[in-house]
Structure 1
Amino acid sequence: MAGWNIRGPGARRGIAAVEFAVVAPVLLLAILAAHDVANLAQTSIRLERAARAGAQQAAADPADLAAIRARVIAAWPALTEADVPMPVLVCECAASPAACDLPCPGGATRLLTVTATRTLVPHLLHGMTQGTGHAVLRLR
């Protein structure tokens, strides 16, 4: 024990190395989790914008579902046809689903839903695998 100098300059470097070895994995996990959350948020924002672009197309021509879908894909070229299902037209009469061609006493409400989804590959948070964007347009 006579040769051990506990208070020497090498002891501080050793303590710093041990502290780094304990803290580094925690920091790495926090960085990966933050990256997954930020990636999901950014993807969701892009998908919402693309769905809104489709809703704008639907406002101009609600009957052309293929053009609405194409506008969503054009808004974010990374999307494919598998990511963007055909828009869905739903009619309601007195807040109940109804056929769009049947008369409704108070007037039928027609809702067109545009959806875009994107599969994500998270590093750490495996519950965040799907980004989704929706736009619902009420037609007259």
Structure 2
Amino acid sequence: MPRATSVRTVPDPPDTVWAALADHEGMATWLPGLKVQVTKPGNPEPNGVGAIRKAGIGSPGPIVEEITAFEPGHRLAYRALAGVPLRNYRGEVTLRPSGSGTEISYAIETDQRLPIGEPQLIKGMASVLLGGLVRGVKARS
């Protein structure tokens, strides 16, 4: 099962990082051009477990994801329901206080094995998503 994790520490506190991470429709601030729409709110948190979001470049869709874990200030996980060419694509972001800042760990996992470049592709995706999140945190600081 291919899995890759990208880790970075930012000077911002976990609450600031969480505010960027948990704002699904605000993801365009950290992934320019991406449009996200929550099509089904979670319960009890609208952006929490069970929330369905559509994401795409220029307009919401074709990627559809469901939030599977929502632990404010600590952990958010999701799984792709449609639009991702990797079988059982899942993402998980964990936050851990680190001094006066936050260590962010962005992990991606998939069941699908690719014929070539698999570790580099998955690792590259995790790195790009983490870099985007860090930009989103800076935009909120």
* TM-score, normalisation: structure 1: 0.30
Rg (Cα) greater in structure: 1
Q: Which of 1 and 2 has higher RCO (CA within 8 Å, sep 6+)?
A: 2
Give the alignment's TM-score, normalised by structure 2: 0.29
Structure in which a larger fraction of residues adopt strand = 2
Structure number with the higher helix fraction is: 1
